[in-house]
Structure 1
Amino acid sequence: MIPAMRSLKLEERDRATSIFNDIIMRFEHSQTPEAECGYKPITLIALMEKEVSEKDEFLRLFFSFIGQNPSTEGGEWETDVEHMLSRLASFDSWTTEEIDALRESLAAFAKYLVDNSLLPRRSPELMQDARPLLCSVKAFAAHTPQPTPAPLSPSILSDAAISTPQRVSILRRDCLARDRHRCVITRKFDAEEAGTRWKREKHNMKDDDGQLFSERDTFAFVEVAHIIPHFMPLSNEGGERKLASGHTIASTDAWLTMFQVESKQVAHRILNMFNPTAVNLINGPNIDRPRNALTPTHGLHRQFGEFDIAFEPIGPEPHTYKIDHVDPDDFVSVEKLLITVTLYLTPDRTIDPPSPELLEIHRAIGRILHVSAVGDYIEGFLRDMEEMEGGGVIPNGSSRLDDFVRFRLTVTGWLEGRSPAL
């Protein structure tokens, strides 16, 4: 079981930080080559520690994982931080075998982070195909569904009665109204809404600020994009897991339930390390609320959803951001970036603005995915899983059956009423 998270004592924090930095410095330059494991494991660990706000929790998780007892089945979590730190304080004088074991533990911890916080989770309600799509956090976030904006007030129906497509339809309507039917980055007006107004008003059509459009104005199709996508496992209030086929796995199925619940707990815990209020902001139906969404054009939606674009807060004015590529040397862009924008607010604040906290998590994830090469690794991993899903052999001829089973259990959910083609 995963140990409960508690704040470190001041002396523990200082010592843990020092030992952590020493370990990173010792192993990062000699980490497993990217070509071998697909990403930079030590760089990933270092970036996670740098980007999270709850560093005590991350350090405790790190040292607890490294302190697992490999001789025990499943590994027992070491919970005595002082004992773990005492063991690791002298790692520079360890034998070659002990150093290699520590290096393997670091690689295992990096994979643990990838499996539990960066690989995607899909909501069954968003499955738009009979066969589950295997897509990464990046790819899934780039494709928030775009249903017609809902005409109904969300107060008419309870959250429990609103399916995810209905919530996203309401979300699109509210975000377009809040953002004045404009892309939050380019300020281009939504072409669909412009067409509707043209049919009604012709040359007298105006924007949301009451200004007449001119012949020089250009339009674009504006979409709604989730800041944090639907990549976490969802459970209903009864503690049962609903899968893509509509089947339900009762909580009495102890092995599978424990496997899925623990994965969800770890994902929540790691998300909490970025911001302790984050889970509540996007838990359940909250993920489809305006504070977790904004309105880009189609091309920018894809780049934002792939964590290639980040919003960085600047200056004293609220909701003002510098918008740029996560990789400043990125040559490919659908729009010229490195711009500063102040997001629109509704006059009476009846519709929440995009959450600064969630935008910061999005920025941090983008940096982690890019600098550690985990983003590219996930894309390759999921291409392999898709090959296996279709019954094919992955390009290098190997069989990643263990990865496939774990992925299907924790990500898309198994038991769809048919066996996958293996």
Structure 2
Amino acid sequence: MIPAMRSLKLEERDRATSIFNDIIMRFEHSQTPEAECGYKPITLIALMEKEVSEKDEFLRLFFSFVGQNPSTEGGEWETDVEHMLSRLASFDSWTTEEIDALRESLAAFAKYLVDNSLLPRRPPELMQDARPLLCSVKAFAAHTPQPIPAPLSPSILSDAAISTPQRVSILRRDCLARDRHRCVITRKFDAEEAGTRWKREKHNMKDDDGQLFSERDTFAFVEVEHIIPHFMPLSNEGGERKLASGHTIASTDAWLTMFQVESKQVAHRILNMFNPTAVNLINGPNIDRPRNALTLTHGLHRQFGEFDIAFEPIGPEPHTYKIDHVDPDDFVSVEKLLITVTLYLTPDRTIDPPSPELLEIHRAIGRILHVSAVGDYIEGFLRDMEEMEGGGVIPNGSSRLDDFVRFRLTVTGWLEGRSPAL
């Protein structure tokens, strides 16, 4: 059981931060090579602590995990912060065996973060917009579906009654209107909308600001991209859990339900560390609201969905961002970046602008994925899972059966359409 999160006392925070930094400094230069685990575990932990806003909660989670008493039956979580810190404060004087055990605990904590906050919760066959829990990674940049925009008539349906495809259609309509049918980065006008206006108005066609287009104007097909994507495969209505694939999990599958509820709770807890309001911003139908979406050209849509592009707020002007690649040295780019853009707003604010909080989470996760090499690790992980989905073994000859079973349970809650044998 993971202990409930709460703020640290001032002296606890100072001591915890100091010990955390000492541990990172001691182990980061000698961390497990990427060739062995696929990413940099200590760098991942250090980046998470740096990027989250709720540092007390992260530190408590960190020390609760790595400070577990190995002799405790059942691996229960240590909850006495002072005791944990006192034990870890002297790690420099530990024996070689104790240091090795701490190194293994750090690697296990890094894997815990990856498994519960970065791995996808839906495989591609269940949803086109299959992404990791907090955000998408390069291997799963399948993008937000682009349905025909909903009519401009008001909907009489409640949020709960609108299916996800309907919500996404309304989302596309609203974002195109808010962003003036233009990519928010390049400002290129939507080619599809331009074609419609050309048929209707010919040389008199105008943009959303009432300006005539010129022969020098170029157009591009624009798409709407979620900032934080759909990440939970289950809905919970009528006392049943229904999979996106149409399977129903009986409420009697207590073990499976407990497994998924705990996974969701851990994921939300980690998401809350980045921003305490984040879960409410994207919970349920809120995930398909304009504050969680941007209008982008196809190429930028893909790179944003793959966490190659970040929006960093600058200056006193609201909704103004420096936009650049997460890796500024990245040679491959569909557009020349490092530009400053002020996002479009509707005059009466009837359509919310993209949320600065969600854009900041997207930026933070992108940096974590890139610098720690977790993004590349997840690409390989998903390729391995795809190999096993087809009944084969992965290229190195192993099967990763434990990973495969856990992944399938997490992303679908169902293995081959059946509940797990108990």
TM-score range (shorter-chain normalised) is over 0.9
Structure-2 change in CA distance of 1:164 and 1:417 (3 Å): same
Residue deviations 1:106-148, cap 9 Å, x none? 0000000000000012399963599999996444444111111
Per-residue deviation at 1:246?
1.8
Structure-2 change in CA distance of 1:132 and 1:359 (3 Å): closer
Structure-2 change in CA distance of 1:314 and 1:146 (3 Å): same
Contact 1:134–1:382 at 8 Å: present in 2 too?
no
Residue deviations 1:316-342, cap 9 Å, x none? 000000000000100000000000000
Q: State how far apart, in whole Å, the 2-side matches of 1:289 and 1:162 are.
A: 13
Contact 1:27–1:42 at 8 Å: present in 2 too?
yes
The answer to whether structure 1 residue 256 and structure 2 residue 256 are counterparts is yes
Structure-2 change in CA distance of 1:162 and 1:37 (3 Å): same
The answer to whether structure 1 residue 364 and structure 2 residue 364 are counterparts is yes
Per-residue deviation at 1:159?
1.2
Structure-2 change in CA distance of 1:128 and 1:19 (3 Å): closer
Structure-2 change in CA distance of 1:250 and 1:353 (3 Å): same
Structure-2 change in CA distance of 1:297 and 1:249 (3 Å): same
Three-state SS of the structure 2 residue aligned to 1:347 is coil
The answer to whether structure 1 residue 338 and structure 2 residue 338 are counterparts is yes
Q: State how far apart, in whole Å, the 2-side matches of 1:174 and 1:80 are.
A: 50
Q: State how far apart, in whole Å, the 2-side matches of 1:335 and 1:130 are.
A: 25
Three-state SS of the structure 2 residue aligned to 1:182 is coil
Contact 1:182–1:188 at 8 Å: present in 2 too?
yes
Three-state SS of the structure 2 residue aligned to 1:340 is strand
Per-residue deviation at 1:391?
1.2
| More divergent stretch after superposition (114-123 vs 98-107) | 114-123
Three-state SS of the structure 2 residue aligned to 1:241 is strand
1:319 paired residue number = 319
Q: State how far apart, in whole Å, the 1-side matches of 2:136 and 2:400 are.
A: 17
Three-state SS of the structure 2 residue aligned to 1:296 is strand
Three-state SS of the structure 1 residue aligned to 2:212 is coil
Contact 2:414–2:420 at 8 Å: present in 1 too?
no
Residue deviations 1:184-223, cap 9 Å, x none? 0000000000000000000000000000000000000000
Contact 1:116–1:263 at 8 Å: present in 2 too?
yes
Contact 2:118–2:134 at 8 Å: present in 1 too?
no
Residue deviations 1:34-69, cap 9 Å, x none? 111000000000000000000000000000111223
Q: State how far apart, in whole Å, the 2-side matches of 1:38 and 1:229 are.
A: 25
Contact 2:135–2:365 at 8 Å: present in 1 too?
no
Contact 1:389–1:421 at 8 Å: present in 2 too?
no
Gaps of 5+ in 1: none
Contact 1:39–1:373 at 8 Å: present in 2 too?
yes
Q: State how far apart, in whole Å, the 1-side matches of 2:195 and 2:126 are.
A: 28
Per-residue deviation at 1:261?
0.4
Three-state SS of the structure 1 residue aligned to 2:234 is coil
Gaps of 5+ in 2: none
Per-residue deviation at 1:155?
3.4
Structure-2 change in CA distance of 1:126 and 1:294 (3 Å): farther
Per-residue deviation at 1:156?
1.6
Q: State how far apart, in whole Å, the 1-side matches of 2:340 and 2:239 are.
A: 44
| More divergent stretch after superposition (110-119 vs 249-258) | 249-258
Structure-2 change in CA distance of 1:421 and 1:341 (3 Å): farther
| More divergent stretch after superposition (138-147 vs 329-338) | 138-147
Contact 2:52–2:274 at 8 Å: present in 1 too?
yes
The percent identity for this pair of structures is 99
Per-residue deviation at 1:165?
1.0
Q: State how far apart, in whole Å, the 2-side matches of 1:86 and 1:68 are.
A: 13
| More divergent stretch after superposition (69-78 vs 45-54) | 69-78
Q: State how far apart, in whole Å, the 1-side matches of 2:135 and 2:58 are.
A: 27
1:399 paired residue number = 399
Q: State how far apart, in whole Å, the 2-side matches of 1:129 and 1:108 are.
A: 29
* Structure 1 residues 18-57: aligned runs within 5 Å: 18-57=18-57
Structure-2 change in CA distance of 1:132 and 1:295 (3 Å): closer
Q: State how far apart, in whole Å, the 2-side matches of 1:135 and 1:397 are.
A: 30
Per-residue deviation at 1:2?
1.0
Structure-2 change in CA distance of 1:220 and 1:305 (3 Å): same
1:70 paired residue number = 70
Structure-2 change in CA distance of 1:233 and 1:271 (3 Å): farther
Structure-2 change in CA distance of 1:242 and 1:72 (3 Å): farther
Residue deviations 1:288-327, cap 9 Å, x none? 1100000010000000000000000000000000000000
Three-state SS of the structure 2 residue aligned to 1:129 is coil
Give aligned pairs, total: 422
Contact 1:311–1:363 at 8 Å: present in 2 too?
yes
Three-state SS of the structure 2 residue aligned to 1:127 is coil
Contact 2:310–2:363 at 8 Å: present in 1 too?
yes
Contact 1:320–1:340 at 8 Å: present in 2 too?
yes
Residue deviations 1:358-402, cap 9 Å, x none? 000000000000000000000000000000001122100001010
Residue deviations 1:168-191, cap 9 Å, x none? 111001000000000000000000
Structure-2 change in CA distance of 1:27 and 1:268 (3 Å): same
| More divergent stretch after superposition (376-385 vs 242-251) | 242-251
Q: State how far apart, in whole Å, the 2-side matches of 1:128 and 1:227 are.
A: 15
Structure-2 change in CA distance of 1:392 and 1:55 (3 Å): same
Contact 1:183–1:189 at 8 Å: present in 2 too?
yes
Residue deviations 1:80-117, cap 9 Å, x none? 00000000000000000000000000000000000000
Contact 1:245–1:416 at 8 Å: present in 2 too?
no
Q: State how far apart, in whole Å, the 2-side matches of 1:44 and 1:17 are.
A: 16
Structure-2 change in CA distance of 1:421 and 1:33 (3 Å): farther
Q: State how far apart, in whole Å, the 1-side matches of 2:288 and 2:319 are.
A: 20
RMSD across aligned positions (CA): 2.8
Per-residue deviation at 1:160?
1.4
Structure-2 change in CA distance of 1:130 and 1:104 (3 Å): closer
Q: State how far apart, in whole Å, the 2-side matches of 1:45 and 1:39 are.
A: 11
Q: State how far apart, in whole Å, the 2-side matches of 1:26 and 1:15 are.
A: 16
Contact 2:299–2:334 at 8 Å: present in 1 too?
yes
Contact 1:309–1:326 at 8 Å: present in 2 too?
yes
Three-state SS of the structure 2 residue aligned to 1:186 is coil
